């Protein structure tokens, strides 16, 4: 009996290790996109990103702190609708993302001189990071929590929901800062949510080399 309990405990530990390893990877990729390519150009990465840009614009609040405050305020929804496991994972993910944004924003600069190239590259990384988080049942924070709730209860791909909710927030951000932002933000959302929609459902072979490296399988 004890041996069976040990095996069950070991299995739970392995699953948690795999999940949170991927959460860290997704959060770092997302933070890289925001801190290096998007936020320095005042391009909202999403609904939470829009509010983050506004807080930075109005109060000169550090991007990492503003992002964490906006995202963590949505956790009440995650606790109620998604359960404590998803909420804890979301809190962990947004904390790692905020730390990553701060590190990348301070120590790295974009190698490109064009805001449009930054937009394209940042959108690809952003969509990849968000998709990794959503596949683990963890929201990328902000309105991503709402998208995950809708995906759970209405069986709607979260990538499409993210696009429409974020669009409204982009209009508000563009009205306050610069209308050019809305064009850049919509392009960013279209690219990133398209990647999210694809990677969220794509089948990843369990025996693949990348999968083994990320999940620490031997």
pLDDT per residue as tens digits for the range 178-196 = 777 778 888 888 898 889 8
Which one, of 40, 37, 18, 19, lies nearest residue 29 by Cα? 37
pLDDT of residue 215: 40
Q: Maximum distance among all alpha carbons in the chain?
A: 65
pLDDT per residue as tens digits for the range 28-68 = 999 999 999 998 988 877 777 788 888 888 888 888 888 88
Structure tokens at 166: 């974020």
pLDDT of residue 81: 67
Contact 134, 200 (CB under 8 A): yes
pLDDT of residue 38: 92
Contact 148, 134 (CB under 8 A): yes
Tell me the Cα Rg of the chain.
18
Structure tokens at 127: 């969509």
Under-50 pLDDT residues of the chain: 207-218
What sign does the dihedral 183-186-191-192 (CA atoms) show? Answer: positive
pLDDT of residue 152: 73
pTM to 2 decimals? 0.73
DSSP letter (8 states) at residue 41: G
DSSP letter (8 states) at residue 74: T
Which one, of 100, 88, 103, 93, lies nearest residue 130 by Cα? 93
Tell me how far apart the alpha carbons of residues 185 and 83 are, in angstroms, rounded to a whole number.
31
Long-range contacts of 116-119 (CB under 8 A, 24+ apart): 116/184, 118/37, 118/38, 118/40, 118/41, 118/43, 119/37, 119/38, 119/41, 119/43, 119/184, 119/187, 119/188
Classified as helix, coil or strand, 113 is coil
pLDDT of residue 66: 86
Classified as helix, coil or strand, 69 is helix
Tell which phi-psi region holds residue 157, choosing left (phi > 0), alpha (psi between -120 and 50) or beta.
beta
């Amino acid at each position: 009996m004890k041996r069976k309990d040990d095996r069950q405990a070991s299995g739970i530990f392995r699953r948690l290790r795999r999940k949170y390893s991927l959460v860290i990877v997704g959060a770092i990729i997302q933070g890289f996109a925001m801190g290096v390519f998007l936020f320095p150009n005042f391009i909202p990465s999403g609904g939470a990103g829009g509010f983050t840009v506004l807080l930075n614009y109005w109060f000169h609040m550090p991007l990492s702190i503003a992002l964490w405050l906006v995202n963590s305020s949505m956790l009440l929804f995650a606790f109620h609708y998604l359960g404590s496991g998803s909420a804890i994972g979301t809190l962990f993910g947004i904390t790692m993302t905020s730390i990553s944004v701060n590190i990348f924003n301070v120590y790295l600069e974009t190698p490109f001189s064009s805001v449009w190239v930054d937009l394209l590259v940042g959108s690809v990384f952003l969509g990849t990071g968000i998709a990794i988080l959503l596949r683990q049942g963890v929201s990328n924070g902000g309105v991503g929590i709402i998208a995950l709730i809708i995906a759970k209860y209405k069986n709607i791909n979260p990538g499409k929901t993210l696009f429409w909710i974020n669009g409204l927030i982009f209009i508000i951000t563009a009205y306050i800062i610069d209308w050019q932002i809305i064009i850049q933000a919509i392009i960013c959302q279209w690219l990133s949510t398209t990647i999210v929609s694809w990677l969220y459902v794509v089948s990843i072979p369990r025996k693949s080399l990348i999968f083994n490296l990320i999940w620490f399988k031997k």
